[in-house]
Chain A
Amino acid sequence: MKFVARRVAVSVVMLIAISILIFIVLRALPGDPVIARLGTAPGITSATLARLRAEAGLDQPLFAQYWTWVSGIFHGNLGDSYFTQTSVSSLIQQSFPPTLEVTILSIALAVAVAVPAAATAARRPGGWVDRIVTALSSAGMAFPPFIAGILLLLILSVRLHLLPARGYTPLLENPGENLIQMVQPAIALAISVAPLLLRHLRNGLGDALATSYARTAEGKGASLSRVVWVHALRNASLPSFTMLGLVFGYTLGGSVIIEYMFGISGLGSLAINAAFHRDYAVLQSVVLLVSALFILVNLVIDLLVWRLDPRMRSSNV
């Protein structure tokens, strides 16, 4: 229980620290969102500027501004966008589902590819399957998601006309169309993420198969498939499960560019737009939300592993 409490406390402290960091980066560095919003329109008096600053709360002391933002989070009130004047929480509500969907789909795809590939490769270390899988995963790791995305786009949309290039239809509105639109973004993200999982799992399986319990299982007459899938995978999957937390963060980062590329109006596109317009109100909340998501997923995974692995429980109390 002590472990759980400490782990949760660390996450909360990290979140607070991240919110301060985000705030400092945006406010301490030069740059004025109000001037950015007005652009180079002529004839703006300093009185207008001051009024707009006051409306956005930018004339308050920094600490007061920070407090308004953070306390607002607990009331679901994140302020208004400097640029469009719509409420930030409604913008985030609209953008959250697409990002979540892309992330979940691509991770599911990565797991679906990585687990069987790693299991097959581990059956014969150094065999041709192992070597091909290792080579492919090295190549996949070099693919930044947006490069994979643009190459997919060139092949599947431009050359073969198989899939639509851009656009997003909400899942609940038209599931079929939505899934077709999600194919390319999900593959693009999975290509760079699956190799990480695959390598980790492959090494874990290799170690697990070299243990005496794996040999015992084989000696008792279990088939190699059974030893790999039932005995070794169970032990090797927990460390890889931890890896999944990192993969999640990587996917969230990659999806920013992927969303922009495929015209998906998710958190990534929202953040890019906000950065363009120096819309600090939107940007700070989006970045915090994504970081919070990353920390939360890692927390949940750590606690699950702790719960599932008796060795962890006894050593970490």
Chain B
Amino acid sequence: MNLEFLLLSGLKVIGVFALVMPMIAYSVMAERKISAWIQDRIGPNRVGPQGMLQPLADGIKFLLKEDFTPGHVRKAYFWLAPAIAMVPAFLTMAVIPFGSAIGNQKMVIADLNIGILYTFGIVSLGVYGIVLAGYASNSKYSFLGGIRSSAQMISYEIAMGLAVIPVFMLVGDLNLSKVIEYQSNHGWLILYAPFSFVIFLVSSFAETNRLPFDMPESETELVAGYHTEYSSMKFALFFMGEYANMISASAMMVTLFFGGWTLPWFSEPALANQWLMGALHIGVFITKMLAFMVVFIWARWMLPRFRYDQLMDLGWRRFLPFALFNVLAYAAWLWMRS
């Protein structure tokens, strides 16, 4: 662990952070704009040219709002919960290879050989933020939101975990860089494991608490669910956490099923300059990711919300057996082939 490694890792952390934070801000903006287009409205267009500075205004508003802590809450947990909700979303991004290489540096913060296990471990932590918020708020709506959330996220994590097993059976490695390498040689994994992708996509909706799975929040039933009692920057942290989760879920889907930073048709673009190619790969990755962000946003404005029991039913009685069967089918297929 020399100085150069520390310096470069630090640079990558800052780089990713500097990229993700504006992405969060602008996905909120995109959410508002896309919903406006879907609903035949105009959307925010007052702040800056074409309303492009709206995220800035939103941010300032969050900062300037009174940070009110109700008297009946459990203070320590109440303060802790937003942070716990926000941090895991960022931590997952550490293992995601967002580009090929610039110079001799691989464009991934931590090139872990157990990448996916780390991801699932961290994602599981996300539920604590919401459960803690629901518990600490000491309010009935928050409480119901927290309970729903814990049940929902745990159930769908199982389906999600099972869904990606075939992918790693095909690739033969847990390292996400190896997954991308495999895809650049053999083609995108969605072609080999479409069912895994479907389960993973739906579970991602559930994991990120987005409609149609926004049980913990379900604003027309539980007012605002687990963050009913939160205001100002603490609320903003939950809010940002949700979008950060969407970003990392999109990044995971791109990495696992859509070839990561590789281009679909010509895997070796004839670019002499290594730096330019590295930048291009990062651009490709981000473009694919944004496409998934749009899917997340689009689905939210098109669908009604599941009911809690229907959601659990879908998770345990449909997806879990389906995912298990999927794993077995791939195992059998690989065994026959070998």
Q: Do A and B bind each other?
A: no
Q: Taking beta carbons and an 8 Å cutoff, which residues of A are in contact with B?
A: none
Q: Taking beta carbons and an 8 Å cutoff, which residues of B are in contact with A?
A: none
